[in-house]
Chains A and B, each alone.
Chain A
């Protein structure tokens, strides 16, 4: 970035504005000349991005605890202990206990299992459907765009509560119906953002060039348009994860979320809102972990985007 920081509208050149390059042009050329496949190149870029690597580390630690955390404590996540209600964190209960005397440590990690699964699977489903639909709307335009657009709008406007109630009555409540209920409308936001991006990108020169060279529609969408829309896609994706986690808590009010004694972060945060004034740790642990997870996801997502985008220079 330093080299682009030249202010050309000033006549006299200030030597202070120039910094010595950390890598000589020769280094850059040499590093580029080591022939690497596209995949290796992406991994290399990711690997050299220390923020992304730290985030990945945090995510791995959270996944580790989500798997092994519940069994580390001698208290399980579901058993009530009415004589140990609302205890503050201690050597016995590492994260304290909730209003029925259940161990928050076990519940938090058990909740991580559920919330991360729900959040990631729902976000991935949103990503696949949303990018596909948005890509079609944006690229083909015209009638395809009009029909898909109207379809997505009608779906978006149908009272979501009614859909959820219907799903819970017809299909019952389990992990997959929860994700189904979220995906029914979850992809729409993504599709609209992708549509807007692609409507703009498809008129750019390189797309015209690709088309004039005989590239097919899907090739152009997959190889040119979507990679160049990755920024907004990743940002939208990182919004999908926490919204799915909280949607799950909301669904559980309607009988479609995870039911007790199982816990999820969303439900734990909801319950903690009734007690946070007195027992703040009941809110702090699930909400804090959710925030840290999201932060790590975001930074890692940014790193991923940069790694995929050949224009970006790390």
Chain B
């Protein structure tokens, strides 16, 4: 017995010795060169005066090159690094790189004066040539690789024709630098929201000299050149990004932060723990997330750190308008009328979302105020009894006696699963039909949706710019994002009419009529709710704003402890 005990002791000692040994090895190997760790140390040691703002991106930005961007993570970082001709302030486009903007009578020609004190982070002056070069580079069909968001520039005359290789050369594109400080832009159609479009990232300039010399300029912090309020101090790929104020920024007096620290944590629980332990100052949208049940608790407890506001984004279900029995409008209406949207937002999503009975969300401009306030939302009413009647009529019209079992598909992530489960249960209870909810792998899901290989599928749409058109023109016949097979000649004509005029009242009228056709007459899709932005913000963080579409602006933020 004693021998065994001795052996046990030896084993334990050996284990401990080896364990502590490898611990030491590691401390030796890892103390050097970890900037993020040092930064975190600084932030927590420094005390009240530290002007550091820390938030979570969730993932590595796919690119920091304005031409190649198409996602929210990239744009969150880039909104500190770059500035376009205008920038958004309290929902209005104000002059930024442009100090003066002239618009022609017909709304088709814009002339910009670039501000003389605009500088690149390498010391060069920002010129009109940089803008011309940047936009034409984005439109270049042979860019290396081609720009996925090039179509955001299609408002410019001949831009689409050049980008798609159909009938226009690069010189015919309607953007031209007259001299270093004058930029002339010609548009295809009068576009009332063009000034706010100019703040969008696809319209950022790039430094012509730097980018033409080094195509991979945006890969690393060392070769990166930007013109915004901050510059890229370090980019530790997939780990963290640090921005520091740009000393030659023309408005540097307004910039109070000494550092913006981005981490890339994909797990919502981890983000929440980091916020609790003050390793983050901001949690939640646009690029992070708050665990659902925690959000519900925070809202219920009226937690003062929780900031909740509407987001111009609609959550809806696509019906496959080409597949029996979903080709029947009565069937589609029955399904849309048989769910309880109030219960979904209050009991399932629980994040201050708003039940949706239209497609254009609140927060989008109409004629004088909000489109949603100016245009009726009474396209349909929830009514299970009426829905049941409509379903029976619709099925009869299709020569069916009962609703076949069908599939409601969604991708993994967010609240898609509980929302689908709740809706399937409501349909089951209110219409007596059986619905199979099916998770589908992300890209397979997208492929199925695009090729109309589904019955009912989850979808969501956020604004590209602040005009109802960003929600309306996607449903034209054969539209690139019309994943329903919906096709209506009158609808197409209304969209065309709205494009052709710059009279805002006429545009809004046409788009309201179009929405009536889309939802009220045809129920091509089933609106569920308008999204919201929920964020946790430490009380000492001041002046970080979220705009109508949920984008963050931290450039004018400061810390007050």
Contact = CB atoms under 8 A, between A and B. Distances in A.
Q: Do chains A and B touch in the complex (CB under 8 A)?
A: yes
Interface of A: 5, 7, 78-80, 82, 85-86, 99-100, 165, 168-169, 173, 252-255, 257, 259-261, 273-275, 277-279
Given A99-B293, A261-B424, A275-B293, A82 B343 contact: yes
A252 B441 CA distance: 9
26 contacts: A80-B425, A99-B348, A99-B418, A100-B348, A100-B418, A100-B421, A100-B425, A165-B441, A168-B444, A173-B438, A252-B439, A253-B439, A254-B441, A255-B441, A255-B444, A259-B436, A260-B420, A260-B424, A260-B437, A261-B421, A261-B425, A261-B437, A277-B294, A278-B293, A278-B294, A279-B293
A260 B424 CA distance: 10
B292 interface: yes
Give the 4 A-B residue pairs with the shortest CB-CB distance, closest first.
Answer: A80-B425, A82-B347, A253-B412, A275-B293
Given A169-B444, A254-B441, A260 B412 contact: no
A80 B425 CA distance: 7
A255 B291 contact: no
A144 B348 CA distance: 57
Contact of A7 (B3, B422, B425): B3
Given A78-B425, A80-B422, A100-B421, 15 more contacts: A82-B343, A85-B347, A99-B293, A100-B418, A168-B441, A255-B438, A255-B444, A257-B439, A259-B436, A260-B420, A260-B437, A275-B291, A275-B293, A278-B293, A278-B297
B505 to A, nearest CB: 42
B440 interface: yes
Contacts of B292: 99, 274-275
Contacts of A255: 438-441, 444
Contacts of A169: 444
Interface in B409-448: 412, 417-418, 420-422, 424-425, 436-441, 444
A254 B439 contact: yes
A274 B444 contact: no
A259 B439 contact: yes
A267 to B, nearest CB: 10
Interface of B: 1, 3, 268-269, 291-294, 297, 343, 347-348, 412, 417-418, 420-422, 424-425, 436-441, 444
B313 to A, nearest CB: 22
A168 B443 CA distance: 13
Contact of B422 (A5, A100, A273, A274): A100
A273 B291 CA distance: 10
**Secondary structure of the B side of the interface?**
helix
B422 A82 contact: yes
A261 B420 CA distance: 10
A165 B444 contact: yes
Contacts of B269: 273
Nearest to B436: A259
Nearest to B268: A274
A82 B293 CA distance: 14
A7 B1 CA distance: 9
- Chain B CB within 10 A, most for which of A78, A173, A259, A279: A259
Contacts of B347: 82, 85
Contact of B348 (A7, A82, A168, A252): A82
Contacts of B1: 5
B425 A79 contact: yes
Nearest to A282: B293
A279 B294 CA distance: 11
A43 B28 CA distance: 57
Nearest to B417: A260
Contacts of B343: 82
Contacts of B421: 80, 100, 260-261
A277 B296 CA distance: 13
Contacts of A78: 425
The CB with the most chain B CB atoms within 10 A, among A79, A85, A100, A260, is that of A260
B344 to A, nearest CB: 9
A47 to B, nearest CB: 31
A86 B439 CA distance: 23
A99 B292 CA distance: 10
A259 B293 contact: no
Contacts of A85: 347
Contacts of B3: 7
Contact of A259 (B294, B437, B441, B444): B437
Most chain B CB atoms below 10 A, which of A7, A168, A255, A273: A255
Nearest to A253: B412
A172 to B, nearest CB: 10
B7 to A, nearest CB: 13
Nearest to B447: A169
B355 to A, nearest CB: 14
Contacts of A99: 292-293, 348, 418
A277 B292 CA distance: 12
Contacts of B441: 165, 168, 254-255
Given A7-B3, A274-B291, A259 B425 contact: no
B250 to A, nearest CB: 46
A165 to B, nearest CB: 5
A275 B295 CA distance: 11
Nearest to B293: A275
Interface centre among A7, A173, A261 (most CB of B within 10 A): A261
B274 to A, nearest CB: 15
Nearest to A5: B1
Contacts of A254: 412, 439, 441
A165 B343 CA distance: 34
A169 B269 CA distance: 32
A79 to B, nearest CB: 7
A163 to B, nearest CB: 12
Nearest to B347: A82
Contacts of B438: 173, 255, 259
A241 to B, nearest CB: 24
Nearest to A251: B439
A253 B421 CA distance: 15
Contacts of A80: 421-422, 425
Which of B292, B297, B348, B439 has the most chain A CB atoms closer than 10 A to its own CB?
A: B439
A259 B343 CA distance: 23
Nearest to A169: B444
Contacts of A278: 293-294, 297
Nearest to A81: B425
A7 B6 CA distance: 14
A81 B68 CA distance: 46
Contacts of B437: 259-261
A5 to B, nearest CB: 8
A261 B441 CA distance: 18
Contacts of A168: 441, 444
A53 B1 CA distance: 30
B484 to A, nearest CB: 21
B549 to A, nearest CB: 27
A65 to B, nearest CB: 24
Nearest to B441: A254
Contacts of B436: 259
A10 to B, nearest CB: 10
B148 to A, nearest CB: 23
Nearest to A161: B441
A48 B1 CA distance: 27
A150 B105 CA distance: 74
Contacts of A7: 3
A5 B294 CA distance: 58
A85 B421 CA distance: 14
A80 B440 CA distance: 22
